[in-house]
Amino acid sequence: MIIVMKSNVSKEEISKILKEVKKLGFKSHLSKGEEKTIVGLVGNGRAVSPDHFRPFSGVEDVFRVSKPFKLASREFKPDKSIIRVNGVSVGGEDIIIMAGPCAVESREQILETALKVKEAGATILRGGAFKPRSSPYSFQGMKEKGLEILAEAKEKTGLSIVTEVIAPEQVPLVGEVADILQIGTRNMQNYALLEAVGKYNKPVLLKRGMMATLEEFLMAAEYILSNGNSNIILCERGIRTFETYTRNTLDLAAVPLLKELSHLPVCVDPSHATGSRSLITPVSKAAVAAGVDALLVEVHPHPEKALSDGAQSLNPEEFCKFMEELRPVAEAVKRGI
């Protein structure tokens, strides 16, 4: 249920509503937009009539949210959310570029990549310290040592860090280094992990499950939101279909549709979506034209030697060219990079 407050509502009137929501056994979520203040009720299994709240002073309207994803919906928050990460705004005027290797392999590899992608215009460094892989025999990442290397790269370059967390008990450990906690496609419906990052005060990059519908995707975001963390970036990274020429099938329509359904910013991962470095630039241009807020791009100093995902990684020179080709497209849709 959504309680829309009047534009001139006082703090005391809002406080009375919040106390009443708590008294009824519901959780309340306060959203202050440019024009309206909204109180969202998250249910406890009980029913309450909208008429219960209408007599309260300061209340303009009360209605039920039609979507199953309540807090992620545009009904709850009509204004778009902007996620701020160390001075960088995801969901604002500029398209944010997150770039780096699939996995942390060595100190030299990360430092070289970090310096190169920053020089080309990226503001966030990606790199996996913990790597959940399809095969137990594949490289699983450098784990804690990888986090130490990412922390050093952050200190030396000033780049923010996005890296994956794969278990609830890892959240505080990874959160000491990461500025954005990534939930990978395999963990989109790991509800214990979603609840853990929901209770942790760091932005979350939530990747769509490889076989998830958009409603399932937004319901996964709802788990994080309902636990108190509203700083979520939705990441479309391709879904599994019958096509074999690409690693996955990029659902490009998901970009404008997610922005229509939800107030959360949207990112695209062209590397995992295609599995091919030759497709990264054209797919990214299309994503920018479709309204994406961020891109997550794999960059490796020597892709041919990469321990994971070398075929879908750009080298630093290719990344520079990628950025050059992307800027005119962004300008055409009145965005910056």
Instruction: For residues 279 and 297, give the distance between their C-alpha atoms in angstroms, rounded to a whole number.
Output: 12
**Per-residue confidence band for 44, with pLDDT thresholds at 50, 70 and 90:** low
- Does residue 204 carry a pLDDT above 80? yes
Query: DSSP label at 213?
Result: -
Within this chain, do residues 41 and 152 fall inside the same structural domain, yes or no?
no
Confidence (pLDDT) at 45: 65
Lowest-confidence segment of 66-80, 270-284, 290-304 by average pLDDT: 66-80
**Residue 23 token pair:** 């008294």
Within this chain, do residues 124 and 44 fall inside the same structural domain, yes or no?
no
Q: Is the residue at 77 inside a domain?
A: no
Q: Is the residue at 38 inside a domain?
A: yes
Confidence (pLDDT) at 29: 87
- Does residue 141 carry a pLDDT above 80? no
CATH number at residue 206: 3.20.20.70
CATH number at residue 12: 3.30.70.1140
Single-letter residue type at 206 = L
83-86: list long-range contacts, CB under 8 Å, 24+ apart.
83/203, 83/231, 83/232, 83/233, 83/265, 85/124, 85/160, 85/179, 85/180, 85/203, 86/160, 86/179
Within this chain, do residues 92 and 56 fall inside the same structural domain, yes or no?
no
Average pLDDT over residues 216-233: 95
Within this chain, do residues 298 and 232 fall inside the same structural domain, yes or no?
yes
Within this chain, do residues 194 and 308 fall inside the same structural domain, yes or no?
yes
Cα angle at 96 between 327 and 114, to 5 degrees? 95
| CB neighbourhood size of 28 (10 A) | 17
- Does residue 137 carry a pLDDT above 70? no
**Per-residue confidence band for 133, with pLDDT thresholds at 50, 70 and 90:** low
Within this chain, do residues 27 and 95 fall inside the same structural domain, yes or no?
no
pTM: 0.91
Within this chain, do residues 55 and 88 fall inside the same structural domain, yes or no?
no
Within this chain, do residues 117 and 232 fall inside the same structural domain, yes or no?
yes
Domain containing 43 equals: 2-63
Within this chain, do residues 37 and 94 fall inside the same structural domain, yes or no?
no
How many domains would you assign to the chain?
Answer: 2
